[in-house]
């Protein structure tokens, strides 16, 4: 009896080990299958993404590709509080014709200064006098203006953090002003009544023909985050100035439009 029990016990143990081994084998095989399927799925997904993105690029027409590249051109460079210029940004600038400058030495991007002078000349022929009161301003100069404003506010009793925040509402932070880029000018006055002048009317009708746009229109404040400035004009080139006017888009909207190959 005793011997038989021992033998039976041995047999039991033997079959348990067999079942456990079988279960382990099944688990092992299942894991293998899962890992294999997962890696294949990942490959398939990556391949799909690759295929669809190549398809997208090759589906663009030549014209769409050209528009996408245009968005990176110097004359369409976007400068605003979200897209500041690097601290060491430099650009070649030339003097604006003295007869169209409020004071001697006002400068503009050398690549676009002729367009600016031509526009002022054409206005003059139409009996309209455009006088540039602000042109290119270096980032160093902008820093100086900004710091002066901050210091004045601190003298008026603001703490430093509040002074910086308050200064930024009236003077652009260094690198965030289009004047630092060299492609923006202010005409005649920085007061809103400028919109009631014949100069403003002339600019509204003709600026695009010389490659200039009204950069901060009244109805685009929600996008530009800059209050209406009827005196501030930006050079973007004739083609784009005309297109922006036709599409009624501000620069932020227009650049997004170009990046999509010219679709809204």
| Residues labelled as active-site residues | 229
Nearer to Zn ion, 149 or 232 (CB): 232
Q: Is there binding between residue 70 and Zn ion (CB under 5 A)?
A: no
> Given the rule CB under 5 A, which of 2-10, 52-60, 204-212, 231-239 is the region that contacts Zn ion?
231-239
Report the distance separating Cα 130 and Cα 117, nearest Å.
10
Reduced to 3 states (helix: H, G, I; strand: E, B; else coil), residue 221 is: helix
Give the relative orientation of helices 62-70 and 251-259 as an angle to the nearest 10 degrees.
140
Nearer to Zn ion, 117 or 188 (CB): 188
> Given the rule CB under 5 A, which of 11-19, 48-56, 125-133, 183-191 is the region that contacts Zn ion?
183-191
Nearer to Zn ion, 70 or 109 (CB): 109
Report the distance separating Cα 148 and Cα 142, nearest Å.
10
Report the distance separating Cα 134 and Cα 217, nearest Å.
18
Output the smallest distance, CB 134 to Zn ion, in A: 6
Q: Which residue among 186, 210, 214, 244 contacts Zn ion (CB under 5 A)? A: 186
Q: Is there binding between residue 243 and Zn ion (CB under 5 A)?
A: no
3-class secondary structure per residue, 54-86: HHHHHHCCHHHHHHHHHCCCHHHCCCECCECCC
Output the smallest distance, CB 147 to Zn ion, in A: 19
Residue listed under structure tokens 């997904």: 45
Q: Is there binding between residue 232 and Zn ion (CB under 5 A)?
A: yes
Angle (CA) 162 158 86, round 5°: 45
> Given the rule CB under 5 A, which of 22-30, 43-51, 77-85, 228-236 is the region that contacts Zn ion?
228-236
Q: How many residues bind to Zn ion according to rule CB under 5 A? A: 2
Q: Is there binding between residue 224 and Zn ion (CB under 5 A)?
A: no
SS3 content of the chain, % helix, strand, coil (to 5): 60, 10, 30
Q: Is there binding between residue 220 and Zn ion (CB under 5 A)?
A: no
> Given the rule CB under 5 A, which of 35-43, 71-79, 200-208, 225-233 is the region that contacts Zn ion?
225-233
Q: What are phi and psi of 209, to 5 degrees?
A: -65, -15
Q: Which residues bind Zn ion (CB under 5 A)?
A: 186, 232
């Amino acid at each position: 009896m005793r011997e038989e029990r021992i033998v039976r016990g041995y047999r039991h143990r033997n079959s348990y080990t067999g079942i456990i081994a079988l279960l382990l084998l099944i688990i092992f095989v299942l894991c293998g299958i899962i890992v294999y399927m997962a890696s294949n799925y990942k490959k398939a997904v990556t391949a799909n993404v690759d295929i669809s993105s190549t398809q997208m690029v090759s589906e663009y027409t030549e014209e769409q590709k050209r528009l996408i590249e245009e968005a990176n051109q110097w004359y369409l460079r976007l400068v605003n509080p979200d897209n500041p210029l690097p601290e060491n940004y430099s650009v070649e600038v030339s003097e604006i014709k003295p007869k169209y400058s409020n004071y001697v030495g006002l400068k503009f991007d050398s690549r676009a200064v002729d367009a600016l002078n031509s526009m002022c000349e054409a206005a003059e022929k139409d009996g309209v006098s455009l006088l540039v009161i602000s042109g290119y301003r270096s980032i160093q100069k902008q820093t100086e203006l900004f710091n002066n404003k901050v210091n004045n506010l601190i003298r008026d009793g603001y703490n430093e953090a509040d002074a910086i925040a308050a200064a930024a509402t009236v003077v652009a932070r260094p690198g965030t002003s289009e004047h630092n880029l060299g492609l923006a000018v202010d005409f005649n006055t920085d007061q809103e009544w400028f919109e009631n002048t014949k100069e403003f009317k002339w600019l509204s009708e003709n600026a695009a023909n010389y490659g200039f746009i009204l950069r901060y229109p009244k109805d685009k404040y929600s996008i530009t985050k800059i209050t209406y400035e009827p005196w501030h004009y930006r050079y973007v080139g004739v083609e784009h100035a005309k297109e922006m006017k036709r599409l009624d888009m501000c620069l932020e909207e227009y650049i997004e439009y170009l990046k999509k190959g010219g679709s809204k």
